[in-house]
Structure 1
Amino acid sequence: MSNREGRLRTVDLARVAGLSTQQVRNYEDAGVLPPAGRTDAGYRVFGERHRDALLTYRALQPGYGAVTATRVMRAVHDGDVAGALALVDAAHAALHEERVSLRAAGEALEALAGRDAAAPPDRSGDGPGEPDGRHGPHGPDGRHGPRGLRIGEVAALVGVRTSALRVWEEAGLLVPGRERGTGYRVYGPADVRDARVVRALRRSHHLFDHIRPVLDDLRRAGSSEALRTAVEARGRALTARTRSMLAGAAALHAYLE
C-alpha cells in the first residue's frame, strides 16, 4: 500500500478509509489532516500521521457528527488541543441534556399510567396565590361536561393551586381555551392530561425547558402509547450514540498521545 520510506500517496490514503482521492484532498484542505508534503513534481505525500488522523476523524464522525469532528481535528492540527477538547465536552453536555429530556418523558408516561397515584397531593404550587376551591357548572367530581372544566376543578383534580396552573400557562406549558362571553379558562381532557404531566415533572424538579418538549412530543404523538414507543426508540438511539462517542473519544486520545 505504501511506497518507499513509509510514504503514502493520495490513493493509498484513500484506500485506507474507503474514500475517493478527492475526499482525501478535501480533508487536507479542511484541516482534518495535517498539511501534506509535496514531491518535486507537486504531488501530495502523506505518512503514518496522516493515516492516523484520517482514521481518528472517521472514528469521531458517528458519535459527534461530521461538523464537530471536522472542528475537533482542525483545532488539534492548529495546536489548540484545549479547544478541541472543549468541543468534545460540549457534545457530551448536549447529549446529557437529551437524556434529561428523555428521563422527563419517561416520568411523564409513568404519571399518565397512574403509577404516582399513591403520592400525596402537592398543593405548594409554582407561584404565590390562594387556593381557588370554586367549582364550575360541572361539579368537583372531574367529569368533563360539554364546555370542559374550570380552573378550580382542574386544580382539585391535579392536586395543585390555581396559581400554579396560571404560572404554567404563562410559561406556555398549558393552553386552555376561553369561554365566550365570560373569558373564563376552560380545560378539556388533553389540558388536564398536560397539567398532570407538568405536576409530575415539577415534583421531580424538572425545569420548564425540559417539560416543554415532553408536552410537544405528547401532543405530536397523539397518545401516551405512541409517545412511549418514540421514547424507547430515542433511548436506544442515545445509547448507540453514547457508545459511538466513547469510541471516538478513545481514538482521539490515542491520536493526541
Structure 2
Amino acid sequence: MRQNPQTAGRLRPVDLARRHGLSTQAVRNYEAAGILPAAGRTPHGYRTYTALHAHALDAFLALVPGHGHGTATAIMRAVNRDEPEEAFRLIDESHAQLLEDRRTLHAVERALRDLGPGAGPAPGDASGPGDMFVGALAGKLGIRPATLRTWERAGLVTPRRDPRTGYRVYTGADVRDAGLAHQLRRGGYRLDRIAPLIAQVRAAGGLEPLAAALHDWHARLAARGRAMLAGAAELDACLRDRDCDGPGRPPGAPGPRVA
C-alpha cells in the first residue's frame, strides 16, 4: 500500500481505498459505522489512517463472506471498542448457526431418504390418520399458520377443504411437502426455487430433482466454513496488531509500517 510521502507512517483515505478497490467514500462510511477506528486529523482537518485502520479494513472485508455484513460490522465495532470478548461471542454464534445449518441439511437428507415413490397418501385421498388441520401442522413445524397459507399460494402444499367446516385439511403427502419446504427454507432457498422441486417430486414419485439442490447446499456451507477460517486469520492479525501497538494509542498517531 502506498503511503503519503509527506506523512510517513500515515495513510490517506485513498490509500486504504485502493488496497481493496473501494471508493474513498466507502472508507469514510466504514469509519462512520464504527468498522474502522476513528481517524486522526491533520492540522488542516484531513483524515489520516494508520496500519491499524488498514488491518481493521482487511479483517472486516474478510469476515463478511462467512458471517454476513451485519455480524461482521458488529464484530469490528466490538473490537474497536476494545471488547474482544463480545467479538468472540458474535463469532461463536455465527459458527453455531453454521453448525445448525449443517444439521438442517442432514435432516433434509434423512427425510428424503425416508421418502419413496408411494410415501404418504395421495393429496386427493379421504381423511386418514395422517391428516392435520392448519394449526396442528403449523405447531408441528414451529411456524405461523399464515406461513402455510403463503406456501399454499406458492404451490408448495395443496390442502383440501373439509366439506362440512371449510377448514383446510393437510394429508400425509401435504405434511411431507410442508416439512420439505420448511427444511429448504431454513437452508436459504426461496419459494420460487422450492415450488418446482416439490412439484417434480410429486410428479416423478422420486427424489432426483433435489439432488442438485442438496449438492449446491453442501457447497455453500463448505464455502461459508472456509470463509470463516479466512476471516478468523485476518481478525487475528488485526488483534495482534492492536495488542502490539497498544489499545489506548491516540487515533492518528504513527503506527507500524505497511508493506
Q: TM-score, normalised by structure 1?
A: 0.66
- Gaps (5+ residues) in structure 2? 142-156, 202-206, 241-259
**Structure 1 residue 93: deviation in Å?**
1.4
State whether structure 2 residue 227 is matched by structure 1 residue 244. Answer: yes
Aligned residue identity for 2:139: A
In the alignment, which residue of structure 2 is the partner of 1:151? Answer: 128
CA distance in 2, matches of 1:97, 1:105: 12
SS class of match (1:32): coil
1:147 touches 1:186 (CA, 8 Å); kept in 2?
no
CA distance in 2, matches of 1:63, 1:29: 23
In structure 1, which of residues 213, 217, 220 is the aligned counterpart of residue 182 of structure 2?
A: 213
Aligned residue identity for 1:240: A
In the alignment, which residue of structure 1 is the partner of 2:218? Answer: 235
1:247 and 1:143, CA in 2 relative to 1: closer, same or farther beyond 3 A? closer
Note the 1:63-212 alignment, pairs <5 A. Answer: 63-113=66-116, 148-152=125-129, 169=137, 171-172=139-140, 177=160, 180-181=163-164, 190-191=173-174, 194=176
In the alignment, which residue of structure 2 is the partner of 1:31? Answer: 34
Matched length: 206
In the alignment, which residue of structure 1 is the partner of 2:23? Answer: 20
1:62 touches 1:244 (CA, 8 Å); kept in 2?
yes
In the alignment, which residue of structure 1 is the partner of 2:50? Answer: 47
Q: Percent identity over the alignment?
A: 43
1:171 and 1:102, CA in 2 relative to 1: closer, same or farther beyond 3 A? same
1:62 touches 1:241 (CA, 8 Å); kept in 2?
yes
1:9 touches 1:46 (CA, 8 Å); kept in 2?
yes
CA RMSD of aligned residues (A): 3.5
Look at both structures and tell me which one has the larger radius of gyration over its CA atoms: 1
**Structure 1 residue 7: deviation in Å?**
1.3
Aligned residue identity for 1:213: H
**Which structure has the higher relative contact order (CA within 8 Å, separation 6+)?**
2
**Structure 1 residue 215: deviation in Å?**
7.6
In the alignment, which residue of structure 2 is the partner of 1:225? Answer: 208
1:101 touches 1:213 (CA, 8 Å); kept in 2?
no
- Gaps (5+ residues) in structure 1? 118-141, 155-161, 199-210
Q: TM-score, normalised by structure 2?
A: 0.66
In structure 1, which of residues 44, 58, 61 is the aligned counterpart of residue 61 of structure 2?
A: 58
1:11 touches 1:21 (CA, 8 Å); kept in 2?
yes
